[in-house]
Chains A and B, each alone.
Chain A
């Protein structure tokens, strides 16, 4: 595995908003089938890494490649067909469209549309509540349900990598457990997952590896165990 080209490779990424630099030479990678988390406090630049990867914010410097292809110059709407799905922070469902319409939009790109009905059967088997709620307006769902629909909408594109920004934000412990189980379930089906989270223990409980970010720089990287045992993590993030 280590010799193969990673699914997502980010090298020396820099992002600047106006005269404020958010990311300083960030490098990371996600290999096929992995679950990887981006850790760090609010404002560390976790979301910006994802948004720069999908060209929602411009990349000032650095290189992002997906499945060996350089993503320079590829617009946001061209990425999902390449197998890169991105669930934005705060779910960002289409609130006045139904659950079913949201899912159909997830499989809108021509590549995914060819087998959209099979994808629908698949995500509805992973998340059966989608069937009962199919005609409900997405904006009227609870936070946890919205998060599940957002993940399902991402899966409709049949991605090889699903990036989820803050999947647990504002959810109750019971719902967090449900989302954790869903992430593990979709990962077992071969989908790599990259997600952001502030709670180190929670994130590392399902991640193979993690990256710890601080003020736009990667402070630390390693396997879940290495990170949990690291002195800085124990002191600053776990309070031990």
Chain B
């Protein structure tokens, strides 16, 4: 039974990692840029939901969709103001751009909201329940289910819509896509918007049980980078799979040794994958 509990807990956490990783992989796949500030958009969404709850009494379940819409436009704006300037630049310049954005957003959050941990102790999803001998925490289950639904929506958007097809075309060959009449600049903006909206949903759902600090987003994004690498850079399904694997490995590793070591297992797994399949499980060579 204990193994079942660890597995289920791991999968629930893994669904959040999967959602964060899919957004990262989307941007990398479409434009070969690693968004180091990905977690910071999540952190912004957490604070947004926290403040709506404490100031206006709006439940995070309601404010999460609002956060997603807002973060879509923030993502598009970041693309237009910052990323567009480094599109043709060297990789080092691109790394500095998104890593600089991470520092800027974290420092701004420290400045505005201090480093105190904020929590939402009571929300619609609070409570525990027991099912088939397993224990479930309401907020975590809802967050996992919400992440799964968002991941499915993201997959549908990329594989079943015209805009998704354009996104895939730009990802494969931006020049050829332009000759098809696709405005790659617009597509890049949409990729940033969708990626930030997806991670905002993750942040909103997490705000019901996870302590909110300026570093909260980074805590989720760092393992998500490993998930992307494990799944294969640029592969959306790979990122999803990688997220689930990371969730289970981190939970099981932490449970059977000590929670202090849980990240150790994640990065050990990463090293294994890098040696065995450097292009990731579902990535292309």
* A121–chain B nearest beta-carbon distance, Å: 19
B179→A86 contact, CB < 8 A: yes
Tell whether A77 pairs with B178 under 8 Å between CB atoms, given A101-B165, A105-B165. Answer: yes
In chain B, residues 69-111, which have Cβ atoms closer than 8 Å to a Cβ of chain A? none
A105→B169 contact, CB < 8 A: yes
The residue on B at minimum CB distance from A101 is B165
Comparing B52-60, B180-188, B244-252, the segment that makes contact with chain A is: B180-188
Give CA–CA (A179, B245) in the complex, Å: 49
Give CA–CA (A94, B177) in the complex, Å: 9
* A76–chain B nearest beta-carbon distance, Å: 4
* A79–chain B nearest beta-carbon distance, Å: 8
B183→A97 contact, CB < 8 A: no
**Does any Cβ of A come within 8 Å of B168's Cβ?**
yes
**Does any Cβ of A come within 8 Å of B166's Cβ?**
yes
A77→B172 contact, CB < 8 A: no
The residue on B at minimum CB distance from A108 is B180
Q: How big is chain B's contact interface, by range?
A: 10 to 19
Cβ–Cβ < 8 Å partners of A94 in chain B: 168-169, 172-173, 176-177
A81→B181 contact, CB < 8 A: yes
Tell whether A106 pairs with B175 under 8 Å between CB atoms, given A94-B168, A97-B169, A101-B165. Answer: no
**Does any Cβ of B come within 8 Å of A54's Cβ?**
yes
A77→B169 contact, CB < 8 A: no
Choose among B162, B172, B182 the residue that contacts A95 (Cβ–Cβ < 8 A): B172
Cβ–Cβ < 8 Å partners of B179 in chain A: 54, 56, 76-77, 79-80, 85-86, 88
Q: Mark A46-78, 1 if CB is under 8 A from B, else 0.
A: 000000001010000000000000000001111
Give CA–CA (A85, B178) in the complex, Å: 11
**Does any Cβ of B come within 8 Å of A227's Cβ?**
no
Choose among A54, A96, A108, A110 the residue that contacts B172 (Cβ–Cβ < 8 A): A96
The residue on B at minimum CB distance from A81 is B181
**Does any Cβ of B come within 8 Å of A36's Cβ?**
no
A105→B175 contact, CB < 8 A: no
Give CA–CA (A93, B169) in the complex, Å: 9
The residue on B at minimum CB distance from A82 is B181
* A68–chain B nearest beta-carbon distance, Å: 21
Cβ–Cβ < 8 Å partners of B169 in chain A: 94, 97, 105, 108
Tell whether A109 pairs with B176 under 8 Å between CB atoms, given A94-B168, A104-B165. Answer: no
In chain B, residues 153-202, which have Cβ atoms closer than 8 Å to a Cβ of chain A? 162, 165-166, 168-169, 172-173, 175-184
**Does any Cβ of B come within 8 Å of A92's Cβ?**
yes
B175→A77 contact, CB < 8 A: no
- Additional A-B contact list (9), CB under 8 Å, known A88-B179, A105-B177: A76-B179, A88-B176, A92-B176, A93-B176, A94-B169, A94-B172, A105-B165, A108-B162, A108-B182
Pick 26 A–B contacts, CB within 8 A, sort by A: A56-B178, A56-B179, A75-B178, A76-B175, A77-B178, A77-B183, A78-B181, A79-B181, A80-B179, A85-B179, A86-B179, A88-B175, A92-B173, A93-B176, A94-B173, A96-B284, A97-B165, A97-B168, A97-B172, A101-B165, A101-B168, A105-B177, A109-B181, A112-B181, A153-B180, A157-B181
